[in-house]
Structure 1
Amino acid sequence: MKFYYGGQAVIEGVMMRGRSSAAVAIRKPDGDIHIYEEALDPRLYQSKLWRLPFLRGMLLLWEMLVLGTRLMTVSANIASGAVDPDAPASSPEMAPAGEPAEASNKLEEERPAQLGGATLVFTLLISLGLGVAIFFVGPLLLTSLFHQQLGEGWLNVIVEGVIRLALLVGYLYLIGRIPDIQRVFGYHGAEHKAINAMESGDPLGVEHVRRASRVHTRCGTGFLLLVMVVSIFVFALVGSPTLPLKILSRIVLVPIVAGIAYELMRLGAANYRYRVVRWLLAPGLALQGLTTREPDDSMMECAIAALKRVMLRDRVLELENEQEHLPQLAVSPGD
Structure 2
Amino acid sequence: MAKTKQTAYGGQAVMEGVMFAGRTSYVTAIRRKDETIEYFELERKESKLSKTLKKIPFVRGLVALVQASANGTKHLNFSTERYDVDPSEDDQIKKEEETSKLAMILGVGAVGVLSFILGKVLFTLVPTFVAEFFRPVVPGDTGQVLLEGLFKFILLLGYIYFLSLTPLIKRVFQYHGAEHKVINAYENGSDLTVEDVQKHSRLHYRCGSSFLLFTVLVGIVVYLFVDTSPLWWRIVNRMMLIPVVIGLSFEVLQLTNKLRNIPVLRYLGYPGLGLQLLTTKEPQDDQVEVAIQSFKKVLENDRNSELRGIEGNRGIS
Instruction: Provide the TM-score with structure 1 as the length reference.
Output: 0.82
What amino acid sits opposite 1:70 in the alignment? K
Give the gaps of 5 or more residues in structure 1: 88-109, 320-335
Q: Over the residues paired in the alignment, what is the CA RMSD in angstroms?
A: 2.5
Which residue does the alignment assign to 1:129? 118
Decide whether aligned partners of structure 1 residues 212 and 244 sit closer, same or farther in structure 2, where only a CA change above 3 A counts: same
Q: After TM superposition, give the deviation of residue 129 of structure 1 in Å.
A: 1.2
What amino acid sits opposite 1:79 in the alignment? Y
Structure 2 residue aligned with 1:50, among 41, 54, 59?
54
Structure 1 residue aligned with 2:35, among 5, 21, 31?
31
Which residue does the alignment assign to 2:272? 284
Give the Cα–Cα distance (whole angstroms) in 2 for the partners of residues 23 and 277 of structure 1.
34
Which residue does the alignment assign to 2:134? 146
Decide whether aligned partners of structure 1 residues 197 and 84 sit closer, same or farther in structure 2, where only a CA change above 3 A counts: farther
Question: Which range moves more in the overlay, 281-290 or 145-154?
Answer: 145-154
Which residue does the alignment assign to 1:243? 231
The answer as to 2:84 corresponding to 1:80 is yes
Q: After TM superposition, give the deviation of residue 151 of structure 1 in Å.
A: 1.9
Structure 2 residue aligned with 1:306, among 278, 282, 294?
294
Which residue does the alignment assign to 1:253? 241
The answer as to 2:227 corresponding to 1:223 is no
Aligned length: 296
Decide whether aligned partners of structure 1 residues 76 and 44 sit closer, same or farther in structure 2, where only a CA change above 3 A counts: farther
Give the Cα–Cα distance (whole angstroms) in 1 for the partners of residues 48 and 27 of structure 2.
18
Give the Cα–Cα distance (whole angstroms) in 2 for the partners of residues 84 and 6 of structure 1.
33
SS in 2 for 1:272: coil
What amino acid sits opposite 1:237 in the alignment? F
1:229-261, CA deviations, whole angstroms, 9 ceiling, x for partnerless residues? 000011222223421221122222212111111
Q: After TM superposition, give the deviation of residue 311 of structure 1 in Å.
A: 1.1
Of structures 1 and 2, the one scoring higher in RCO (CA 8 A, sep 6+) is 1
What amino acid sits opposite 2:58 in the alignment? F
What amino acid sits opposite 1:63 in the alignment? Q
SS in 1 for 2:239: helix
The answer as to 2:105 corresponding to 1:116 is yes
Name segments (4+ residues, structure 1) moved above 4 Å.
82-87, 110-114, 316-319
The answer as to 2:216 corresponding to 1:212 is no
Structure 1 residue aligned with 2:155, among 156, 167, 184?
167
Question: Which range moves more in the overlay, 198-207 or 248-257?
Answer: 248-257
Q: After TM superposition, give the deviation of residue 69 of structure 1 in Å.
A: 1.0
Which residue does the alignment assign to 1:22? 26
Give the Cα–Cα distance (whole angstroms) in 2 for the partners of residues 170 and 17 of structure 1.
29
> Which protein is richer in helix relative to its size?
2
Q: After TM superposition, give the deviation of residue 155 of structure 1 in Å.
A: 1.2
Give the gaps of 5 or more residues in structure 2: 92-96, 308-317
What amino acid sits opposite 2:164 in the alignment? G
What amino acid sits opposite 1:78 in the alignment? R
Decide whether aligned partners of structure 1 residues 265 and 44 sit closer, same or farther in structure 2, where only a CA change above 3 A counts: farther
Structure 1 residue aligned with 2:176, among 175, 188, 205?
188
1:83-126, CA deviations, whole angstroms, 9 ceiling, x for partnerless residues? 86867xxxxxxxxxxxxxxxxxxxxxx98968332454245424
Q: After TM superposition, give the deviation of residue 127 of structure 1 in Å.
A: 4.7
Alpha-carbon contact 1:20-1:42 (below 8 Å) kept:
no
The answer as to 2:265 corresponding to 1:293 is no
Alpha-carbon contact 2:185-2:191 (below 8 Å) kept:
yes
